[in-house]
Amino acid sequence: MAENPYMARAIELAIENVRSGRGGPFGAVIVKDGRIIATGTNQVTSTNDPTAHAEVVAIRAACAALGTFQLDRCDIYTTCEPCPMCLGAIYWARPHRVFFGGTAGDAAEAGFDDAFICQQLGVPLADRKILFVPLMREEALACFRAWAASPNRINY
């Protein structure tokens, strides 16, 4: 397979990230109209942010660069198949395509095992490893009523 320059850049960034000690071995590049508009690397440990996976960092940067919360006509190149958090972020950001290098299995072999999160999604609340407890549902529904009634509503 011919080398893809965007994926090659993502790999380069991931390796630099490890060497500099900034975080885990993951990189991502976001491309629109043939141009790299944002990059991201894993910064969980260096920024104390468990959500700072390469894809999330890149999505946030790309949206900031574009001034929008949607990645229309953008492609994401990531060095590894996204974890469930990043997959969710990708669906909310709505890019065109996602290209990935390593597989979830490769990540698990390297010590990054997110299979337990996928597995937990299918487990009833009461049986999950982190306890999920329903509380004050009736009161909380007031939030949705306020939304329905709001003249300031911007759908997303």
The interface with a copy of itself within residues 13-42 (CB under 8 A) comprises: 14-15, 18-21, 23-27
State in angstroms the smallest separation of the CB of 35 from a copy of itself. Answer: 18
**Of the two residues 37 and 80, which places its CB atom closer to a copy of itself in the complex?**
80
d(CA 12, CA 23): 14
Residue 152 in the binding site for a copy of itself (CB under 8 A): yes
Residues of span 38-97 touching a copy of itself by CB under 8 A = 44-45, 48-51, 56, 59-60, 63-64, 66-71, 77, 79-81, 83-97
| Residues in region 92-131 near a copy of itself by CB under 8 A | 92-103, 106-107, 109-111, 114, 116-118, 120-121, 130-131
**Is 55 an active-site residue?**
yes
Q: List 80's β-bridge partners, or say none.
A: 102
Sequence letter at residue 70: Q
- How many amino acids of this chain bind a copy of itself (CB under 8 A)? 93
Residue 41's DSSP bridge partners are 27
Label residues 64-100 b or e (16+ Cβ within 10 Å = b). eebeeeebeebbbbbbbbbbbebbebbeebebeebbb
Query: Alpha-carbon torsion 14, 15, 20, 25, what sign?
Result: positive
In the set 3, 12, 55, 139, the catalytic residue is: 55
> What are the catalytic residues?
55
